[in-house]
Structure formats: C-alpha cells, structure tokens
Amino acid sequence: MNTHALILAADSALRTLWAEPRASRPTPMAATSELELTDAERRESAALMRVNHVGEVCAQALYTGQTLACQNLDLRAQLVEASREETDHLAWTQQRLTELKGRPSLLNPLWYAGAFAIGYAAGKLGGDKVSLGFVVETERQVEAHLQSHMDLLPAADSASRAIVVQMKADEIAHAQMAMKAGAAELPGPVKSVMALAAKVMTTVAHRV
C-alpha cells in the first residue's frame, strides 16, 4: 500500500463525511409537479431519504476500501467510475434532505468506517473476484431496498421518487458491471450477514 493511495482514501473519507458533494449529473426531475406535502409526509420522506443518504455514504466507503485493496488497474478504474456515480447519489440525497428540512444521520462516521473495513477486507483477503461479489450482492440488496422505498414514500413526493428511480437504475448497472468483470457468488451465510447488517443500519438511520 503506497502513501498516495492512502492519501486518496483519506481524502475520499473527508469529502464524503464533511464536504458538500458535487454531482456530475443533474438531479433527476419528476415528470409531474410535486404536490404539497403534509408535515407528517415531509418527516417520513426526510427519514427515508436520510436512510438513502446513509446508503450512499456506505457506498463511497465500500468502493474506497475496495479500490485501496485492488491491484488490478482495469478493475480499479471501474470501481472509481462506479464511485463517481455514487457521488451523484450522495449529492442528490443530501440536496433532497435539505429541501425536506431533514438532516443526515448523526452516525455517518460510524457507517463509513464499517463499510470501508468491509470493502478493504473483501478486496485484501478474498481477491478481486470476492471483492466484486460483494459489489454484486450489495447492489442487489440496495436495489431491493430502493424498490421498497418506492412503496413507502408518500404519493405526493414525486421529487424523491425521481431520485430513487435513477439511483435504482445505476445500482443495477453497477451489479452488472461487477458480474461481467468476474464476480464470485458469495456463500449464503455471508449474504445473510450482509442483509442483517443492512437492516440494522436502515432501522437506526431512519431515526438517528
């Protein structure tokens, strides 16, 4: 591990947790005008978008950890590109949180540290195929999670829905990229542990 790589990883952590993210793509817009939300609907939308924002914090950490451990230059470039798209998601969800008068999770540093450790360990201990397997399974679980939010978001909140729809499409593309690059299928128990960890994170982040 060289000093330059460590500096880039530290810079990614600082920018994710404390800098204002900048999207490379415009924020997805709804096809129809948003209806006025009640206070209860706004609070629920803010809580759901906070969970999505935490997911993007974790995605940044996961990809940064994997990139740091990756020795394959072509694969590293693919991970960096996927991370750029996740930065768009981070910016979109943060912007929407602000519009909804919500706030990010107070535990974001903890979520980041945990996801970074998982990403680095997957890349370092399991190699590229296992690391890619984590990408596939993570994106599959995120896709299902985003689909559930389509059912949970208030019907009037078309702005949040537009963001979630585009995020879901991007997550599917990331999983397909990882599969084409030779991802290994993770054992069932590993998938179950990942699902349990995600459940804890989303439940806590909905409130804190």
Mean pLDDT for 192-200 is 88
Helix/strand/coil (H, E, C) string of the chain?
CCHHHHHHHHHHHHHHHHCCCCCCCCCCCCCCCCCCCCHHHHHHHHHHHHHHHHHHHHHHHHHHHHHHHCCCHHHHHHHHHHHHHHHHHHHHHHHHHHHCCCCCCCCHHHHHHHHHHHHHHHHHHHHHHHHHHHHHHHHHHHHHHHHHHHHHCCCCCHHHHHHHHHHHHHHHHHHHHHHHCCCCCCCHHHHHHHHHHHHHHHHHHCCC
Task: Quick: pLDDT tens for 128-165.
Answer: 888 888 889 988 999 999 999 999 999 999 999 999 99
pLDDT of residue 41: 95
28-48 in b/e form (b: 16+ CB < 10 A) is: beeeeeeeebeeebbebbbbb
Task: Quick: pLDDT tens for 31-89.
Answer: 777 778 999 999 999 999 999 999 999 999 988 998 888 888 888 888 888 888 889 99
pLDDT of residue 140: 92
User: What's at 64, amino acid-wise?
Assistant: T
Rounded Cα–Cα distance for residues 146 and 165 (Å): 8
Domain map of the chain by residue range?
A: 3-13+43-205
Instruction: Tell me the pLDDT of the chain averaged across its residues.
Output: 89
Report whether pLDDT(2) > 70: no
pLDDT band at 95; cut points 50, 70, 90: very high
Residue 144 contacts by C-beta under 8 Å, 6 or more apart in sequence? Answer: none
pLDDT of residue 158: 93
Q: Which CATH superfamily is domain 3-13+43-205 in?
A: Ferritin, core subunit, four-helix bundle (1.20.1260.10)
pLDDT band at 1; cut points 50, 70, 90: low
Residue 104 contacts by C-beta under 8 Å, 6 or more apart in sequence? Answer: 50, 53, 54, 57, 94, 97
C-alpha to C-alpha distances, 135 to 41, 79, 123, 179, nearest whole angstrom: 33, 9, 11, 9
